[in-house]
Amino acid sequence: MVEADPLALLNDHAHCELKAAAMGQSLIAKNPSFGSLIDSVPHVVLEEMQHFVQVNAELRKRGGELGVQEPSPYADGLHQGAAATRTSLVLDRLVLAHLIEARSLERFDLLANHLTDRSLAALYEELLPSEAAHRGLFRKLAREAYGDAAEARIETLGELESRLIAGLPFAHRVHSGISVR
Ligand SMILES: [Fe+2]
Ligand SMILES: [Fe+2]
């Protein structure tokens, strides 16, 4: 299971936080007239960078060093799959952010509850409220700008996301398939 290699998990997780911050910055830069997004997403970016600092500190405390992140079949599959039926890039970015936050939250909750390493579990426990708020915020922004089309897209891309994660092999990563052990 994922606990067998906490350094690999933490390295992958640290990169996920960086990507979340970069995604937020890109949303801000490309949607300067979307007032509620401009008001809220900078705070998400700051929180994701704070999470990066926490996760990287945990990695180093355990004798690890930040390395590169392996290519992510999860993220690549989501973006490629969404592009095939896309009507709005902004809507898809908001919906994918919502779905990725939701899946991260699910994984962090599992880690917080099941890791036997309680100090690592405590880190995941601490991150839960913030990621839950991000999940809700991106859904709210999508609904505000796109109405019912947002819910329809959440359903379509949610099915894609579920299929994708079910088909991935297990890895010591935040977004991998499940361990059979
Ligand atoms: Fe985060
Ligand atoms: Fe987040």
Report pLDDT digits (tens) over 70-91.
888 898 899 999 999 999 999 9
- CATH class of segment(s) 2-167: mainly alpha
Nearest ligand atom owner, CA of 48: 1
Q: For 23-65, write each residue's pLDDT tens digit.
A: 999 999 999 999 999 999 999 999 999 999 999 999 999 999 9
172 Cα: distance to centroid of ligand 1 (angstroms):
18
97 Cα: distance to centroid of ligand 2 (angstroms):
8
Tell me the HSE value of 97 on the side-chain side, using a 13 A CA sphere: 33
Nearest ligand atom owner, CA of 51: 1
**pLDDT confidence of 1, banded at 50, 70, 90?**
low
Record the pTM. Answer: 0.93
**DSSP letter for each residue of 21-82:** HHHHHHHHHH-TT-HHHHHHHHHHHHHHHHHHHHHHHHHHHTT----PPPP-HHHHHHHHHH
8 A C-beta contact, residue 126 and residue 112: no
132 Cα: distance to centroid of ligand 1 (angstroms):
10
